[in-house]
Structures are given as C-alpha cells and as structure tokens.
Amino acid sequence: MAQDLEQTISALQTTAIGNCRKRIEEAAHKPKKIPGGDPADSGAPCRDKKPAHGVTSVLRDKYGL
C-alpha cells in the first residue's frame, strides 16, 4: 500500500511539473510590453501603477502566470 501511495504522489508531482512547464512556455511566447514604448502612455502618472511586492508578483504580472 505504501508503494501505491508513493507511485500516486510521484505521478501527481510529474503532472504538476508538466503543467507548470506548459504555462511557462505559453507565457514565454506571449508578446512582451516594452516599457515606455507607447507614446500615448508617456503622460500617464506613475501612481496608477500597482507596486510589485515580490518575485512572484513580478513574474505573475510580467508573464501572466
């Protein structure tokens, strides 16, 4: 029975890692915004932008993860 649980856990880990890799690949193929590249945004105040609090927030905002 312990061996069955280990196989189940291993299968779940493999599936989770595969899903993460898929999401990272999809995010890598999305077009990236160029900061300051849009002249219409040049007059936008900085206070409207959401502050990033950590690495996860930055990655989520940048790559849509």
- Taking only the tens place, the pLDDT of each residue in 17-36 is 999 999 999 888 887 766 55
Q: What is the pLDDT of residue 59?
A: 78
The whole-chain average pLDDT of the chain stands at 77
- φ, ψ of residue 24 in degrees (nearest 5): -65, -40
Contact 23, 15 (CB under 8 A): no
Read off the pLDDT band of 9 (50, 70, 90): very high
Q: What is the pLDDT of residue 5?
A: 93
Read off the pLDDT band of 55 (50, 70, 90): confident
Q: What is the pLDDT of residue 46?
A: 56
Token pair 């280990």 is found at 6
* Degrees to nearest 5, angle at CA 65 with 27 and 38: 65
Contacts for 25-31: CB closer than 8 Å, 24+ residues apart: 27/63, 27/64, 27/65, 28/63, 30/63, 30/64
